[in-house]
Structure 1
Amino acid sequence: MLQVTGLEAAYGESRILFGIDLSVARGEVVTLLGRNGMGKTTTIKSIFGMVKPTGGQIRIDGKDLTGAEPHLVAGAGLGLVPEGRQIFPTLTVQENLQATATKGKWTLNRIYDLFPRLQERKRNMGNQLSGGEQQMLAIGRALMTNPRLVVLDEATEGLAPLIRADIWACLTRLKSEGEAILVIDKNVDALTKFADRHVVIEKGRVVWQGSTAQILATPDIKDRFLHV
């Protein structure tokens, strides 16, 4: 579904990405791993048109969307759960969800079934939610666009362990329902319980990629590229 080939990107004169290759098939869960500052978020922003690539190609279902505006990328079927959540603070939970709603299988009732806490808080403003509730809302908001690929940038960063467990359970359920997912997170142990493939970035380059079985069989990957 998503095919990224030779992706390059820069901020001014500072080159950040040096030929990233990345793909996600329908129904597949792929992780994007690496230490802080290695280019993971820039990769996501480039896919969504928030950073204009300086080279390479981004294709969605075979259509070239390299450097396309974010609304066109969303219209092509990608839903983003951004780093920092970025929910609407002065809208209620329900208004946040309705703001991105399109016709499809993901409705308010389905989101509330996935995250009962959001139904309990549906009349609360976005800025009245805890960090974990905001992350649930950010995921629900992305799903309300009825995407064919959900992209999560730092899925559980800064969340309490119990909330992290809720997020992992959510992603496991989404996979079981056939959703394609691209996820950035630092918790490799949790990711290997449900992800299919893993891509490791170091200084803007892909330095390793393989299946869950392969990363579990290569424990030095974490020491070499993921630990601070």
Structure 2
Amino acid sequence: MLTVSSLEAGYGDVQVLFGISLSIAQGEVVTLLGRNGMGKTTTIKSIFGLVKPSGGTIAMDEVALAGKPPFRAAQAGLGLVPEGRQIFPNLTVEENLIATAADRDRAAKPWSLERVYEFFPRLKERRRNMGTQLSGGEQQMLAIGRALMTNPKLLVLDEATEGLAPVIRQEIWACLARLKQDGQSILVIDKNVDALVKLADRHLILEKGRLVWEGTSADFLASPDLKDRYLHV
């Protein structure tokens, strides 16, 4: 489905990514791990056309995306839950959801307002509220619901539970587990490694813009030194 090969990217004269290669298959949940500043968000921005790569290829179902504008990534079936949520503050919950809605004939079980409200009952309760009137957890639910309304082949979450209270984090992880059960492909960045190990099929670790480790959750648990070497500050 998603294939990234030898990706290089940066900002101005500062190179951040050095030959990143990864792939995500249909129905997989994959994590992108690493300390702050190691290139995780730059990888996501490159995939979505928010940063123009200086080398390498990006393809979604063999549709070339490297260097293309962001709407091409959306057309190809990529849905983003961005870092910081970035919901539209001057729109209501329902308007936020409708704003990104896309009709995907390929979706076996398409996402609609009704389905999002069933998945996130709290959003239905708050559907007339403005985005700024929601709690952090509700805003994250809205950001996920907004991305699902694009009926994505691959859902990408950058810092899935950052800044949320522990009880709300558990709700988000439970939602992602339900999406996985439904066959949704997911790429997720988060610092809560213990939750990610329970959720994901595979993990990728970045260090200074390079992919330094890749393996399953079982592989990760069998290598306890990985946390100290690559993830702890």
TM-score, normalised relative to structure 2 = 0.97
Whether 2:37 is the aligned partner of 1:37: answer yes
Q: Which residue of 2 aligns with 1:147?
A: 152
Map 1:78-93; keep pairs closer than 5 Å: 78-93=78-93
What is the Cα deviation at residue 103 of structure 1? Answer: 2.2
Q: Which residue of 1 aligns with 2:231?
A: 226
What CA distance in whole angstroms lies between the structure 2 residues aligned with 1:67 and 1:154? 24
What is the Cα deviation at residue 27 of structure 1? Answer: 0.4
Q: Which amino acid aligns with 2:93?
A: V
Deviations 1:40-95 (A, max 9, x none): 00000000000000001001111211111100110000000000111000100000
What CA distance in whole angstroms lies between the structure 2 residues aligned with 1:207 and 1:165? 29
Q: Which amino acid aligns with 2:144?
A: I
What CA distance in whole angstroms lies between the structure 2 residues aligned with 1:163 and 1:209? 29
What CA distance in whole angstroms lies between the structure 2 residues aligned with 1:151 and 1:108? 20
Q: What SS does the aligned partner of 1:127 have?
A: helix
Q: Which residue of 2 aligns with 1:191?
A: 196
Q: Which amino acid aligns with 1:158?
A: G
Q: Which amino acid aligns with 1:45?
A: K
Q: Flag structure 2 segments of 5+ consecutive residues without an equivalent.
A: 105-109
Map 1:162-201; keep pairs closer than 5 Å: 162-201=167-206
Q: Which residue of 1 aligns with 2:103?
A: 103
What CA distance in whole angstroms lies between the structure 1 residues aligned with 2:224 and 2:177? 23
What CA distance in whole angstroms lies between the structure 2 residues aligned with 1:157 and 1:31? 15
Q: Which residue of 2 aligns with 1:60?
A: 60
What CA distance in whole angstroms lies between the structure 1 residues aligned with 2:102 and 2:3? 25
Q: What SS does the aligned partner of 1:182 have?
A: strand
What is the Cα deviation at residue 216 of structure 1? Answer: 0.8
Runs of 4+ aligned structure 1 residues displaced above 3 Å come to: none
Q: Which amino acid aligns with 1:201?
A: L
Map 1:200-215; keep pairs closer than 5 Å: 200-215=205-220
Q: Which amino acid aligns with 1:79?
A: G
What CA distance in whole angstroms lies between the structure 1 residues aligned with 2:71 and 2:63? 15
What CA distance in whole angstroms lies between the structure 2 residues aligned with 1:13 and 1:65? 22
What CA distance in whole angstroms lies between the structure 1 residues aligned with 2:190 and 2:199? 13
**Identity across aligned pairs (percent)?**
71
Q: Which residue of 1 aligns with 2:11?
A: 11
Q: Which amino acid aligns with 2:201?
A: D
What CA distance in whole angstroms lies between the structure 1 residues aligned with 2:150 and 2:199? 23
What CA distance in whole angstroms lies between the structure 2 residues aligned with 1:205 and 1:118? 39
Deviations 1:4-26 (A, max 9, x none): 01100010111100011111100
What CA distance in whole angstroms lies between the structure 2 residues aligned with 1:167 and 1:67? 32
Deviations 1:86-121 (A, max 9, x none): 100010000000001122510111111111111110
Q: What SS does the aligned partner of 1:198 have?
A: strand
Aligned CA RMSD, in angstroms, stands at 0.7
Q: What SS does the aligned partner of 2:198 have?
A: coil
